[in-house]
Chain A
Protein backbone atom coordinates (compact mmCIF):
# COMPACT_ATOMS: atom_id res chain seq x y z
CA UNK A 1 0.00 0.00 0.00
CA UNK A 2 1.36 3.41 -1.00
CA UNK A 3 1.20 6.25 1.56
CA UNK A 4 1.49 9.77 0.14
CA UNK A 5 1.82 12.81 2.41
CA UNK A 6 1.71 16.22 0.74
CA UNK A 7 2.65 19.55 2.27
CA UNK A 8 -0.09 22.14 2.02
CA UNK A 9 -0.25 25.88 2.61
CA UNK A 10 -1.28 27.31 5.98
CA UNK A 11 -4.65 28.41 4.60
CA UNK A 12 -5.50 25.14 2.87
CA UNK A 13 -7.88 22.71 4.51
CA UNK A 14 -6.31 19.43 5.60
CA UNK A 15 -7.85 16.39 3.94
CA UNK A 16 -7.36 12.66 3.79
CA UNK A 17 -8.36 10.70 0.71
CA UNK A 18 -8.42 6.94 0.91
CA UNK A 19 -8.26 5.13 -2.43
CA UNK A 20 -9.17 1.49 -2.06
CA UNK A 21 -10.90 -1.36 -3.89
CA UNK A 22 -13.42 -1.85 -1.08
CA UNK A 23 -14.10 -0.29 2.30
CA UNK A 24 -13.32 -3.20 4.62
CA UNK A 25 -13.22 -3.42 8.42
CA UNK A 26 -9.57 -2.29 8.63
CA UNK A 27 -10.28 0.88 6.68
CA UNK A 28 -13.41 1.61 8.70
CA UNK A 29 -11.46 1.21 11.94
CA UNK A 30 -8.76 3.53 10.59
CA UNK A 31 -11.35 6.15 9.62
CA UNK A 32 -13.10 5.90 12.99
CA UNK A 33 -9.79 6.15 14.79
CA UNK A 34 -9.01 9.35 12.89
CA UNK A 35 -12.45 10.67 13.70
CA UNK A 36 -11.81 10.21 17.43
CA UNK A 37 -8.34 11.76 17.23
CA UNK A 38 -9.48 14.81 15.30
CA UNK A 39 -12.67 15.59 17.19
CA UNK A 40 -12.76 17.47 20.43
CA UNK A 41 -15.56 17.50 22.95
CA UNK A 42 -16.64 20.72 24.60
CA UNK A 43 -17.21 20.01 28.28
CA UNK A 44 -17.94 21.90 31.47
CA UNK A 45 -16.58 21.56 34.96
CA UNK A 46 -18.38 24.04 37.15
CA UNK A 47 -18.05 27.39 35.40
CA UNK A 48 -15.06 26.33 33.29
CA UNK A 49 -15.57 25.26 29.67
CA UNK A 50 -12.83 23.26 27.98
CA UNK A 51 -12.15 20.84 25.16
CA UNK A 52 -11.03 17.29 25.67
CA UNK A 53 -10.03 14.43 23.40
CA UNK A 54 -12.73 11.75 23.17
CA UNK A 55 -10.05 9.05 23.37
CA UNK A 56 -9.39 10.09 26.99
CA UNK A 57 -12.99 9.41 28.02
CA UNK A 58 -13.57 6.21 30.00
CA UNK A 59 -17.35 6.40 29.76
CA UNK A 60 -20.35 8.67 29.28
CA UNK A 61 -23.21 8.44 31.72
CA UNK A 62 -26.66 10.02 31.70
CA UNK A 63 -27.91 10.99 35.16
CA UNK A 64 -31.14 12.96 35.63
CA UNK A 65 -31.19 14.39 32.10
CA UNK A 66 -27.54 15.44 32.33
CA UNK A 67 -24.66 13.66 30.59
CA UNK A 68 -21.32 13.31 32.31
CA UNK A 69 -17.95 12.22 30.93
CA UNK A 70 -15.68 10.24 33.18
CA UNK A 71 -11.95 10.45 32.58
CA UNK A 72 -9.22 8.76 34.59
CA UNK A 73 -9.86 10.99 37.60
CA UNK A 74 -12.00 13.92 36.45
CA UNK A 75 -15.69 14.20 35.70
CA UNK A 76 -17.09 16.73 33.23
CA UNK A 77 -20.52 17.58 31.96
CA UNK A 78 -21.51 17.84 28.31
CA UNK A 79 -24.55 19.41 26.70
CA UNK A 80 -24.79 16.54 24.25
CA UNK A 81 -27.41 13.87 24.82
CA UNK A 82 -26.41 10.24 25.14
CA UNK A 83 -28.05 9.30 21.82
CA UNK A 84 -26.17 12.14 20.11
CA UNK A 85 -22.88 10.83 21.50
CA UNK A 86 -23.85 7.31 20.44
CA UNK A 87 -24.45 8.53 16.88
CA UNK A 88 -21.33 10.67 16.83
CA UNK A 89 -19.08 7.84 17.93
CA UNK A 90 -20.82 5.02 16.06
CA UNK A 91 -18.29 2.52 14.76
CA UNK A 92 -15.54 3.70 17.12
CA UNK A 93 -14.34 2.17 20.39
CA UNK A 94 -17.34 3.67 22.18
CA UNK A 95 -20.09 1.21 22.85
CA UNK A 96 -23.45 1.48 24.59
CA UNK A 97 -23.69 -1.01 27.45
CA UNK A 98 -26.90 0.09 29.14
CA UNK A 99 -29.71 2.60 28.87
CA UNK A 100 -27.56 5.22 30.59
CA UNK A 101 -23.92 4.37 29.80
CA UNK A 102 -21.64 4.39 26.75
CA UNK A 103 -18.17 3.11 27.52
CA UNK A 104 -14.83 3.20 25.79
CA UNK A 105 -13.81 -0.40 25.12
CA UNK A 106 -10.14 0.54 25.01
CA UNK A 107 -10.38 1.62 28.65
CA UNK A 108 -11.85 -1.70 29.83
CA UNK A 109 -9.49 -3.86 31.84
CA UNK A 110 -11.71 -6.95 32.10
CA UNK A 111 -15.26 -8.24 32.06
CA UNK A 112 -16.81 -10.13 34.98
CA UNK A 113 -20.16 -11.88 35.40
CA UNK A 114 -22.71 -10.06 37.55
CA UNK A 115 -26.18 -11.24 38.61
CA UNK A 116 -28.77 -12.62 36.23
CA UNK A 117 -27.01 -12.61 32.84
CA UNK A 118 -25.53 -9.16 33.34
CA UNK A 119 -21.83 -8.41 33.22
CA UNK A 120 -19.57 -5.89 34.82
CA UNK A 121 -16.76 -4.01 33.09
CA UNK A 122 -13.78 -3.23 35.29
CA UNK A 123 -12.30 -0.03 33.89
CA UNK A 124 -8.58 0.74 33.90
CA UNK A 125 -9.16 3.36 36.61
CA UNK A 126 -10.77 0.75 38.88
CA UNK A 127 -14.40 1.78 38.32
CA UNK A 128 -17.01 -0.87 37.64
CA UNK A 129 -19.74 -0.44 35.03
CA UNK A 130 -22.78 -2.70 34.67
CA UNK A 131 -23.48 -4.13 31.21
CA UNK A 132 -27.18 -4.82 30.80
CA UNK A 133 -28.29 -8.24 29.64
CA UNK A 134 -29.87 -6.91 26.42
CA UNK A 135 -26.58 -5.28 25.36
CA UNK A 136 -24.47 -8.42 25.88
CA UNK A 137 -25.24 -9.96 22.43
CA UNK A 138 -24.33 -6.61 20.80
CA UNK A 139 -21.10 -6.48 22.77
CA UNK A 140 -20.24 -10.02 21.66
CA UNK A 141 -20.90 -8.95 18.09
CA UNK A 142 -18.74 -5.83 18.47
CA UNK A 143 -15.86 -7.91 19.81
CA UNK A 144 -16.24 -10.40 16.96
CA UNK A 145 -17.63 -13.28 19.05
Chain B
Protein backbone atom coordinates (compact mmCIF):
# COMPACT_ATOMS: atom_id res chain seq x y z
CA UNK B 1 0.00 0.00 0.00
CA UNK B 2 1.63 3.22 -1.16
CA UNK B 3 1.05 6.82 -0.25
CA UNK B 4 -1.84 8.34 -2.18
CA UNK B 5 -1.97 11.84 -0.71
CA UNK B 6 1.01 13.70 0.63
CA UNK B 7 1.30 17.27 1.92
CA UNK B 8 4.79 18.72 2.12
CA UNK B 9 5.07 21.98 4.09
CA UNK B 10 1.71 23.20 2.87
CA UNK B 11 0.84 26.73 3.94
CA UNK B 12 -2.26 28.60 2.91
CA UNK B 13 -2.68 32.27 3.69
CA UNK B 14 -5.91 34.11 3.01
CA UNK B 15 -5.59 37.85 2.69
CA UNK B 16 -8.47 40.26 2.80
CA UNK B 17 -8.99 43.92 3.54
CA UNK B 18 -9.04 43.04 7.21
CA UNK B 19 -5.64 41.37 7.27
CA UNK B 20 -4.24 37.94 6.65
CA UNK B 21 -5.16 34.57 8.12
CA UNK B 22 -2.96 31.53 8.10
CA UNK B 23 -5.49 28.77 7.45
CA UNK B 24 -2.81 26.10 7.04
CA UNK B 25 0.58 26.46 8.69
CA UNK B 26 3.34 24.22 7.37
CA UNK B 27 1.21 21.10 7.17
CA UNK B 28 2.85 17.74 6.54
CA UNK B 29 0.59 14.79 6.02
CA UNK B 30 0.76 11.35 4.53
CA UNK B 31 -2.28 9.28 3.67
CA UNK B 32 -1.94 5.71 2.47
CA UNK B 33 -3.95 3.99 -0.19
CA UNK B 34 -7.00 2.21 1.20
CA UNK B 35 -7.12 4.21 4.44
CA UNK B 36 -10.17 5.85 5.88
CA UNK B 37 -8.39 8.91 7.14
CA UNK B 38 -10.05 11.38 9.49
CA UNK B 39 -9.02 14.96 10.00
CA UNK B 40 -10.56 16.41 13.10
CA UNK B 41 -10.52 19.93 14.45
CA UNK B 42 -12.65 22.68 15.86
CA UNK B 43 -14.36 25.11 13.49
CA UNK B 44 -11.82 27.55 12.15
CA UNK B 45 -8.97 25.08 12.50
CA UNK B 46 -8.49 24.94 8.72
CA UNK B 47 -10.16 21.59 7.97
CA UNK B 48 -12.13 22.83 4.97
CA UNK B 49 -9.05 24.48 3.52
CA UNK B 50 -7.03 21.31 4.04
CA UNK B 51 -9.48 19.05 2.21
CA UNK B 52 -9.80 21.57 -0.63
CA UNK B 53 -6.05 21.51 -1.10
CA UNK B 54 -6.22 17.80 -1.91
CA UNK B 55 -8.01 18.53 -5.20
CA UNK B 56 -6.70 22.09 -5.40
CA UNK B 57 -10.09 23.76 -5.10
CA UNK B 58 -7.94 25.92 -2.83
CA UNK B 59 -4.42 26.59 -4.03
CA UNK B 60 -1.79 26.50 -1.27
CA UNK B 61 0.32 29.61 -0.87
CA UNK B 62 3.39 27.39 -0.64
CA UNK B 63 4.31 23.75 -0.33
CA UNK B 64 3.58 20.62 -2.34
CA UNK B 65 0.42 18.58 -2.66
CA UNK B 66 1.10 15.21 -4.16
CA UNK B 67 -2.11 13.43 -4.99
CA UNK B 68 -1.99 10.03 -6.64
CA UNK B 69 1.57 10.52 -7.86
CA UNK B 70 1.31 14.04 -9.24
CA UNK B 71 2.42 17.31 -7.70
CA UNK B 72 -0.84 19.17 -8.29
CA UNK B 73 0.79 22.60 -8.16
CA UNK B 74 2.74 21.81 -11.32
CA UNK B 75 -0.26 20.69 -13.38
CA UNK B 76 -1.91 22.84 -16.05
CA UNK B 77 -5.57 23.78 -15.67
CA UNK B 78 -6.56 21.03 -18.10
CA UNK B 79 -4.41 18.37 -16.41
CA UNK B 80 -5.82 19.42 -13.06
CA UNK B 81 -9.39 18.98 -14.30
CA UNK B 82 -8.47 15.52 -15.55
CA UNK B 83 -6.99 14.73 -12.13
CA UNK B 84 -10.10 15.94 -10.30
CA UNK B 85 -12.17 13.39 -12.17
CA UNK B 86 -10.46 10.73 -10.11
CA UNK B 87 -11.04 12.49 -6.82
CA UNK B 88 -14.68 12.35 -5.76
CA UNK B 89 -16.02 14.83 -3.25
CA UNK B 90 -19.12 15.05 -1.07
CA UNK B 91 -20.27 18.00 1.01
CA UNK B 92 -22.15 18.93 4.15
CA UNK B 93 -25.03 20.40 2.17
CA UNK B 94 -24.97 17.76 -0.58
CA UNK B 95 -24.80 20.35 -3.40
CA UNK B 96 -27.06 18.49 -5.80
CA UNK B 97 -28.50 19.99 -8.95
CA UNK B 98 -32.03 20.83 -7.86
CA UNK B 99 -33.45 21.02 -11.39
CA UNK B 100 -32.26 17.54 -12.38
CA UNK B 101 -33.69 14.26 -11.21
CA UNK B 102 -31.70 11.75 -9.18
CA UNK B 103 -30.37 9.67 -12.07
CA UNK B 104 -29.33 12.74 -14.06
CA UNK B 105 -27.58 14.15 -11.00
CA UNK B 106 -25.49 10.99 -10.75
CA UNK B 107 -24.94 10.89 -14.51
CA UNK B 108 -23.98 14.57 -14.61
CA UNK B 109 -20.18 14.26 -14.16
CA UNK B 110 -20.21 11.75 -17.01
CA UNK B 111 -22.44 13.64 -19.44
CA UNK B 112 -20.50 16.83 -18.71
CA UNK B 113 -17.35 14.92 -19.63
CA UNK B 114 -18.91 13.89 -22.94
CA UNK B 115 -20.14 10.37 -22.16
CA UNK B 116 -23.34 9.61 -24.16
CA UNK B 117 -26.47 10.15 -22.07
CA UNK B 118 -27.69 6.58 -22.36
CA UNK B 119 -24.41 5.10 -21.21
CA UNK B 120 -24.11 7.64 -18.39
CA UNK B 121 -27.63 6.87 -17.17
CA UNK B 122 -26.96 3.15 -17.17
CA UNK B 123 -23.90 3.64 -15.00
CA UNK B 124 -25.80 6.07 -12.75
CA UNK B 125 -28.59 3.55 -12.25
CA UNK B 126 -26.04 0.93 -11.26
CA UNK B 127 -24.47 3.29 -8.73
CA UNK B 128 -27.85 4.21 -7.30
CA UNK B 129 -28.36 0.55 -6.63
CA UNK B 130 -25.04 0.47 -4.76
CA UNK B 131 -26.12 3.33 -2.49
CA UNK B 132 -29.57 1.82 -2.00
CA UNK B 133 -31.68 4.33 -3.89
CA UNK B 134 -32.83 2.32 -6.87
CA UNK B 135 -36.47 3.26 -6.39
CA UNK B 136 -35.73 7.02 -6.36
CA UNK B 137 -34.18 7.19 -9.83
CA UNK B 138 -36.85 9.54 -11.22
CA UNK B 139 -37.35 11.65 -8.10
CA UNK B 140 -36.09 15.19 -7.75
CA UNK B 141 -33.71 16.12 -4.89
CA UNK B 142 -36.29 18.44 -3.31
CA UNK B 143 -38.42 15.43 -2.44
CA UNK B 144 -35.60 13.50 -0.73
CA UNK B 145 -34.48 13.42 2.90
CA UNK B 146 -31.01 14.60 3.91
CA UNK B 147 -29.68 11.06 4.11
CA UNK B 148 -31.08 10.21 0.70
CA UNK B 149 -29.56 13.35 -0.81
CA UNK B 150 -26.16 12.43 0.61
CA UNK B 151 -26.53 8.96 -0.95
CA UNK B 152 -27.19 10.58 -4.30
CA UNK B 153 -24.12 12.75 -3.77
CA UNK B 154 -22.04 9.67 -2.97
CA UNK B 155 -23.26 7.90 -6.10
CA UNK B 156 -22.41 11.03 -8.09
CA UNK B 157 -18.93 11.15 -6.57
CA UNK B 158 -18.39 7.53 -7.62
CA UNK B 159 -19.50 8.09 -11.21
CA UNK B 160 -16.00 8.76 -12.56
CA UNK B 161 -14.44 5.77 -10.74
CA UNK B 162 -12.40 7.81 -8.27
CA UNK B 163 -9.42 6.51 -6.33
CA UNK B 164 -10.03 8.98 -3.53
CA UNK B 165 -13.25 10.19 -1.95
CA UNK B 166 -13.17 13.47 -0.02
CA UNK B 167 -15.88 13.97 2.60
CA UNK B 168 -16.30 17.54 3.79
CA UNK B 169 -18.39 17.39 6.99
CA UNK B 170 -20.57 14.98 5.05
CA UNK B 171 -22.63 13.87 8.03
CA UNK B 172 -22.78 17.15 9.95
CA UNK B 173 -26.24 18.04 8.66
CA UNK B 174 -27.67 14.59 9.41
CA UNK B 175 -29.24 13.02 12.49
CA UNK B 176 -27.29 10.30 14.38
CA UNK B 177 -29.11 7.35 12.79
CA UNK B 178 -28.71 8.67 9.27
CA UNK B 179 -25.09 9.50 10.06
CA UNK B 180 -24.50 5.88 11.05
CA UNK B 181 -26.03 4.55 7.84
CA UNK B 182 -23.99 6.95 5.68
CA UNK B 183 -20.82 5.94 7.53
CA UNK B 184 -21.64 2.29 6.93
CA UNK B 185 -22.03 3.05 3.25
CA UNK B 186 -18.65 4.79 3.18
CA UNK B 187 -17.06 1.79 4.84
CA UNK B 188 -18.60 -0.51 2.27
CA UNK B 189 -17.31 1.67 -0.57
CA UNK B 190 -13.85 1.68 0.97
CA UNK B 191 -13.79 -2.11 1.23
CA UNK B 192 -15.47 -3.08 -2.02
CA UNK B 193 -13.91 -0.54 -4.36
CA UNK B 194 -10.69 0.05 -2.44
CA UNK B 195 -11.27 3.79 -2.51
CA UNK B 196 -9.22 5.87 -0.10
CA UNK B 197 -11.58 8.00 1.96
CA UNK B 198 -10.62 11.25 3.63
CA UNK B 199 -13.09 12.59 6.15
CA UNK B 200 -13.09 16.10 7.57
CA UNK B 201 -15.21 16.45 10.67
CA UNK B 202 -15.57 18.08 14.06
CA UNK B 203 -17.25 14.96 15.48
CA UNK B 204 -15.09 12.41 17.29
CA UNK B 205 -17.81 9.79 17.05
CA UNK B 206 -17.54 9.86 13.25
CA UNK B 207 -13.78 9.30 13.39
CA UNK B 208 -14.14 6.58 16.00
CA UNK B 209 -16.75 4.74 13.99
CA UNK B 210 -15.07 4.52 10.59
CA UNK B 211 -11.56 5.90 10.49
CA UNK B 212 -8.39 3.90 10.68
CA UNK B 213 -6.14 6.92 11.03
CA UNK B 214 -6.65 10.42 12.31
CA UNK B 215 -4.91 13.76 12.23
CA UNK B 216 -5.71 16.51 14.69
CA UNK B 217 -5.73 19.98 13.20
CA UNK B 218 -5.50 22.99 15.49
CA UNK B 219 -5.02 26.57 14.33
CA UNK B 220 -3.86 25.43 10.92
CA UNK B 221 -1.27 23.04 12.30
CA UNK B 222 -1.31 19.26 12.42
CA UNK B 223 -0.61 18.58 16.08
CA UNK B 224 -0.99 14.83 16.11
CA UNK B 225 -1.37 11.93 13.71
CA UNK B 226 -1.69 8.20 14.10
CA UNK B 227 -4.06 5.30 14.55
CA UNK B 228 -7.44 6.41 15.86
CA UNK B 229 -7.34 4.51 19.12
CA UNK B 230 -3.81 5.53 19.94
CA UNK B 231 -4.43 9.21 19.34
CA UNK B 232 -7.81 9.41 21.03
CA UNK B 233 -6.97 7.31 24.08
CA UNK B 234 -3.49 8.59 24.59
CA UNK B 235 -2.93 12.02 23.03
CA UNK B 236 0.70 13.04 23.18
CA UNK B 237 0.40 16.79 22.89
CA UNK B 238 -1.30 19.42 24.97
CA UNK B 239 -3.29 20.66 21.94
CA UNK B 240 -4.41 17.10 21.24
CA UNK B 241 -5.62 16.59 24.79
CA UNK B 242 -7.39 19.93 24.77
CA UNK B 243 -9.13 19.28 21.50
CA UNK B 244 -10.24 15.81 22.46
CA UNK B 245 -11.65 16.97 25.78
CA UNK B 246 -13.42 19.86 24.03
CA UNK B 247 -14.85 17.56 21.40
CA UNK B 248 -16.01 15.08 24.02
CA UNK B 249 -17.62 17.90 25.95
CA UNK B 250 -19.52 19.25 22.94
CA UNK B 251 -20.64 15.76 21.95
CA UNK B 252 -21.97 15.16 25.43
CA UNK B 253 -23.87 18.46 25.29
CA UNK B 254 -25.27 17.61 21.87
CA UNK B 255 -26.52 14.29 23.16
CA UNK B 256 -28.12 15.89 26.20
CA UNK B 257 -29.88 18.46 24.03
CA UNK B 258 -31.29 15.75 21.83
CA UNK B 259 -32.43 13.93 24.98
CA UNK B 260 -30.55 10.78 24.19
Whether chain B is bound by chain A comes out as no
